[in-house]
């Protein structure tokens, strides 16, 4: 029984060695027809690493022939299916430049974009590749507005832009977590200055207000009035834009504390609504007091 098992193992190893030897022999041969057929056979079988190597080797033999664009396209497609997106993107980029009239060019353009998209990194890391992908996809959308891949391209753009939004938001929030509230407020305001449509706008406005409140609360008494007035201004900015926000209840509570610190009393209901006239009047009052404080 042991002898039989050893014999079967030997035969299996021999068969594998034979297959490997056959593939390597083919890879190093100059028989373009045999290599071409084998490359497509490996591709059809899903053995993309081997088909990519064969198509790469074959590209030298078919250079200048009618098979040239087919071989180079499937070289890139094999790397794409093998999920080697960096190499595939380079393949498709070269293909588009070399074969602008090929029937494969239209699909190669889209696949290059998909490679760029798939090569981007999560938001915590460097976003150079994300900017590159966004620029390439935006150019594609402008140049090929009737492309069948338009939806995929727009979806990619949305996701990549949201990733940049999250990076900017989380970078500013880091200051808040560190309790550096002055730097936090400045950082969040800069995020909106750079991109007013940031998808985290509601959260950012909330953290701007909370940063100014915490900064005022932790300040020395002589600086608190001026800084509480800054919070009040941030509070009005928030509720003026987002009166129904889930942050409203918390900010109303903090607002009452700030008003108390400023020597004013506010109703404790927490759900009171200011009329537009009251809102404008209170805001003007805050601005006058802030200007007066700055003069003093």
Spans in the chain with pLDDT lower than 70:
1-20, 265-287, 289-291, 293-296
Together in a domain, 131 and 223: no
* Residue 25 located in a structural domain: no
Residue at a domain's end among 132, 164, 196: 164
Query: DSSP letter string over the chain?
Result: -HHHHHHHHHHHHHHHHHHHHHHHHHHT---HHHHHHHHHHHHHTT-HHHHHHHHHHHHHHSTTSTTHHHHHHHHHHHHHHTT-HHHHHHHHHHHHHH-TTSTTHHHHHHHHHHHHHHT---TTS--HHHHHHHHHHHHHHHH-TT-TTHHHHHHHHHHHHHHHHHHHHHHHHHHHHTT-HHHHHHHHHHHHHH-TT-TTHHHHHHHHHHHHHHHHHTS-HHHHHHHHHHHHHHHHHHHHH-TT-TTHHHHHHHHHHHHHHTT----S-S-----HHHHHHHHHHHHHHHHHHHH-
* Residue 8 located in a structural domain: no
What is the phi-psi region of residue 50: left when phi exceeds 0, alpha when psi lies from -120 to 50, beta otherwise? Answer: alpha
Together in a domain, 65 and 129: yes
Together in a domain, 159 and 184: no
Q: What phi and psi, each to the nearest 5 degrees, are found at residue 193?
A: -65, -40
Using alpha carbons only, give the angle 217, 288, 281 rounded to the nearest 5 degrees: 95
Together in a domain, 118 and 227: no
Together in a domain, 49 and 127: yes
Residue at a domain's end among 164, 189, 207: 164
Rounded distance, CA 39 to CA 184, Å?
57
Question: pLDDT value at position 8?
Answer: 46
Together in a domain, 127 and 195: no
Together in a domain, 189 and 140: no
Name the token pair of 192. Answer: 């909106």
CATH code, 185: 1.25.40.10
Residue at a domain's end among 164, 188, 220: 164
* Residue 16 located in a structural domain: no
* Residue 280 located in a structural domain: yes
Using alpha carbons only, give the angle 80, 81, 86 rounded to the nearest 5 degrees: 25
Q: What is the pLDDT of residues 220-230, one digit of tens each?
A: 999 999 999 99
Together in a domain, 100 and 204: no
Together in a domain, 106 and 213: no
* Residue 21 located in a structural domain: no
* Residue 15 located in a structural domain: no
Question: pLDDT value at position 293?
Answer: 65
Question: pLDDT value at position 22?
Answer: 83
Question: pLDDT value at position 36?
Answer: 95
Q: What is the domain count for the chain?
A: 2
* Residue 98 located in a structural domain: yes
Q: What is the pLDDT of residues 228-246, one digit of tens each?
A: 999 999 999 999 999 999 9
Together in a domain, 156 and 278: no
* Residue 56 located in a structural domain: yes
Structural domain containing residue 158: 33-164
Together in a domain, 53 and 160: yes
Together in a domain, 91 and 118: yes
């Amino acid at each position: 029984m042991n002898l039989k098992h050893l014999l079967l193992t030997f035969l299996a190893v021999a068969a594998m060695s034979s297959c490997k030897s056959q593939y390597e022999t083919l890879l190093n041969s100059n028989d373009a027809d045999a290599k071409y057929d084998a490359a497509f056979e490996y591709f059809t079988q899903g053995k993309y690493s081997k088909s990519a190597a064969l198509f790469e080797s074959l590209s030298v033999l078919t250079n200048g022939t009618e098979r040239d664009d087919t071989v180079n396209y499937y070289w890139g497609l094999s790397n794409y299916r093998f999920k080697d997106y960096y190499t595939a993107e380079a393949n498709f980029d070269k293909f588009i430049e070399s074969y602008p009239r090929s029937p494969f060019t239209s699909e190669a353009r889209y696949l290059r974009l998909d490679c760029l998209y798939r090569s981007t990194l999560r938001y915590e890391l460097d976003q150079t590749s994300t900017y590159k992908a966004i620029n390439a996809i935006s150019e594609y959308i402008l140049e090929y507005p009737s492309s069948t891949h338009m939806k995929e391209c727009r979806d990619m753009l949305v996701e990549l832009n949201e990733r940049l939004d999250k990076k900017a938001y989380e970078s500013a929030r880091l200051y808040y977590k560190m309790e550096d509230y002055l730097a936090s407020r400045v950082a969040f305001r800069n995020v909106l200055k750079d991109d007013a449509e940031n998808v985290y706008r509601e959260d950012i406005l909330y953290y701007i207000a909370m940063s100014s409140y915490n900064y005022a609360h932790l300040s020395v008494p002589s600086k608190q009035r001026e800084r509480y007035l800054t919070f009040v201004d941030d509070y009005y900015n928030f509720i003026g834009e987002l009166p129904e926000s889930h942050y409203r209840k918390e900010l109303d509570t903090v607002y009452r504390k700030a008003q108390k610190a400023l020597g004013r009393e506010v109703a404790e209901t927490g759900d009171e609504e200011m009329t537009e006239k009251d809102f404008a009047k209170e805001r003007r009052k805050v601005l006058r007091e802030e200007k007066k404080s700055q003069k003093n």
